[in-house]
Amino acid sequence: MSKRILVISILAIASFFVACSQGDEATPDMTQQQAAAPKSVPIVTVDQFTAPSSPVITEDQAKRYAKASAALVELGVKWSEKIDNAADGEKVQILNAYNVARDQLCARVGLAGIAEYNWITTVALPEAKNKAVFEAAGVKTAN
């Protein structure tokens, strides 16, 4: 009787180790899962931006621009740390993901992505007619 209990115990222990080792093989390593996952997937639809004929913007656009500006500064700080600490091969991937993140951020605040933000920065911000609108939104202008 004790031989049977011993044999059953050994078989139970052996089957436990076999089951555990099969479970490890069936579950992929976390780094493999991360490598296979997409690096950047746009979450918000980014509207196509077409530059208007007039450089004058609305107060609402100026407010959205101010929100995007503040958020882009924070985003840049966080992503620059990732870029600095990344291996050379990963830097291009991180920069591509950063560009997607900037586009997403601008779309989330109501702009047509980074394209509209850049247009406001280069065209609307220097326009003297927009000075009062930007100042009302909390953006200081040089003109």
Residues 39-84 have pLDDT tens digits of 555 588 888 999 999 999 999 999 999 999 999 999 998 888 888 8
CA dihedral 88, 91, 92, 94 (to 10 degrees): 160
| The pTM of the whole model exceeds 0.85 | no
- Asked if residue 142 has pLDDT above 50, the reply is yes
Give Cα 42 distance to the centre of its chain. 8
Selected residue with higher pLDDT from 84 and 6: 84
Confidence of residue 88 (pLDDT cuts 50, 70, 90): confident
- Rg of the chain taking only CA atoms, in angstroms: 28
